[in-house]
Amino acid sequence: MSKFDIQGLTRTFFGGKDRRECANPTCTTKPKQQIGIRFYEQWFCGPDCFERAARQKLLELMPARGKQEKPPSLRMPLGLVLVSRGILSHEQLKIALDQQRTSGTNFGEVLQELGFATQQQVTAAVAAQWACPVFSLGERPLPTAVHIPTRLLELYGMLPVHFQEAGRKLMVGFITRVQHHMLSTIEHVTSCTATPCFITDNEYRRHLQSLAVVSVENELVCDRANGPAEIAKLVRDQASYVGSEEVRFGMCRDYLWGRLLGQQEWDLLFRLPED
Ligand SMILES: [Zn+2]
């Protein structure tokens, strides 16, 4: 399913090599001791060569960006899961479906408004639909070792809820659906193995708020739609400005997520045009 490699986990870059060769075939810079920029397992001697490679990579990534996955049509409808669990009666199911038709709101929310099911019961039923576990954060703070831009957490209704250093295993909690395209993107950008779980809406909101207070300083969001050439130029400028040693790209459905690594970690988000 992942179109990105996750070999970043074991990757060793150019260890011990004194002289590096720029991966740009048209590079005219004489090989010398430079910091350069690592990008997709290659090394580029400077901003010009990096920008060229970034532009090419974007042209390759853009058409393949993750589309909204189809709803889980083969899964049992949420109402029936709750009936089968003895939480909802057939009569209540009928009332809730009628209510949903007129209000147009999310079925899980309708059930809670009517008092037919609790948030925990709805979350557990949604998790069962997706064959994922429910994760309860309780009073534990969110893991800080792995950072995902706040804009993406809000947009895709997800949070990093648990991180295990051994094997770099990350659990990502979703509230309404699993965003598979984001799991593979997170794996690539953060060098983690990401697995999905579900969390309640309340826990999601509470922790997202606490996160927004602390973690927005090194995030730049560009909401104007840009073509590959302009995005590559902006990434190059920021990477040169902050002295990045490595750049990673993660394709999301709505954004290109660029991560700059080095002394400082930066996340750049570029909104992609609608297709
Ligand atoms: Zn070069």
Q: What is the pLDDT of residues 232-250, one digit of tens each?
A: 999 999 999 999 999 999 9
Residue 14 in any domain: the answer is: yes
73: in domain: no
Q: pLDDT class for 8, splitting at 50, 70, 90? A: very low
Same domain, 237 and 266: yes
List phi, psi (to 5°) of 195. -125, 145
Q: Find the helix or strand (DSSP H, E) in which 32 lies.
A: none
User: 225 with 208, same domain?
Assistant: no
Q: Is residue 134 a part of any domain in this protein?
A: no
Distance between Cα 64 and ligand 1 center (Å): 27
Domain count, the chain: 3
Tell me: the pLDDT tens digits for 32-68?
656 799 999 999 999 999 999 999 999 999 887 766 5
Phi, psi of 206 (to 5 degrees): -60, -45
Residue 198's closest CA among 263, 272, 120, 135? 135
DSSP 118-149: -HHHHHHHHHHHTT--B---TTPPPPSSS---
- Same domain for 56 and 86, yes or no, is no
Domain containing 208 equals: 150-214
* Distance of CA 152 from the midpoint of ligand 1 (Å): 33
Sign of the Cα pseudo-torsion (9, 266, 144, 257, in order): negative
Residues 32 and 49 in one domain: yes
Type of residue numbered 71 = P
Distance 95 CA to ligand 1 centre (A): 66
CA of 4 to the centre of ligand 1 (A): 25
DSSP structure class, residue 7: G
Neighbouring C-beta atoms of residue 271, cutoff 10 Å: 16
Token readout for 215 is: 């973690």
Tell me the pLDDT band of 157, cut-offs 50, 70 and 90.
Answer: very high
Dist. CA 41 → ligand 1 center (Å): 15
Q: In angstroms, how far is CA 36 from the centroid of its own chain?
A: 27
Domain boundary pick from 193, 214, 235: 214
- Looking at the domain assignment, is residue 144 inside a domain? no
Amino acid at 246: E
Cα of 176 vs centre of ligand 1, distance in Å, is 45
- What is the Rg, in whole angstroms, of the alpha carbon atoms belonging to the chain? 22
Q: For residue 7, what pLDDT band results from cuts at 50, 70 and 90?
A: very low
Answer yes or no: do 57 and 21 share one domain: yes
Distance 150 CA to ligand 1 centre (A): 34
Report CA(238)–ligand 1 centroid distance (Å).
18
Integer Cα distance of 50 and 239 in angstroms: 10
How many whole angstroms from 29 Cα to the centroid of ligand 1?
Answer: 6
197 and 243 assigned to the same domain? no
Domain shared by 208 and 161, yes or no = yes
Which amino acid does the sequence have at 130? Answer: W
On whether the CB atoms of residues 40 and 55 are closer than 8 A, the answer is no
C-alpha to C-alpha distances, 100 to 97, 130, 242, nearest whole angstrom:
5, 21, 50
The residue type at 142: L
27 Cα to the center of ligand 1, angstroms: 4
Domain assignment present for residue 58? The answer is yes
15 and 57 part of one domain: yes
Residue 248 tokens read as 């990673």
Q: The pTM is what?
A: 0.85
Which H helix or E strand runs over 17?
none
Cross-strand partners of 259:
248, 267
On the question of pLDDT at 18 being above 70, the answer is no
Report CA(30)–ligand 1 centroid distance (Å): 8
Q: How far is the CA of 59 from the centre of ligand 1 (A)?
A: 20
Residues 245, 209, single domain; the answer is: no
pLDDT digits (tens, 9 = 90+) for 170-216: 999 999 999 998 999 999 999 999 999 999 999 999 999 887 666 66
CA of 5 to the centre of ligand 1 (A): 24
Cα 46 to ligand 1 centre (Å): 6
Distance 50 CA to ligand 1 centre (A): 8
Q: What tokens does 173 get?
A: 């909690």
The phi, psi pair for 21, rounded to 5°, reads: -105, 130
CA of 120 to the centre of ligand 1 (A): 55
How many angstroms is it from 25 CA to the middle of ligand 1? 8
Chain center to CA of 180: 9
Distance CA 178, CA 197 (A): 8
Task: Indicate if 116 and 84 belong to the same structural domain.
Answer: yes
DSSP three-state, residue 162? strand
Identify whether 82 is part of a domain: yes
Q: Are 232 and 58 contacting, i.e. CB atoms less than 8 angstroms apart?
A: yes
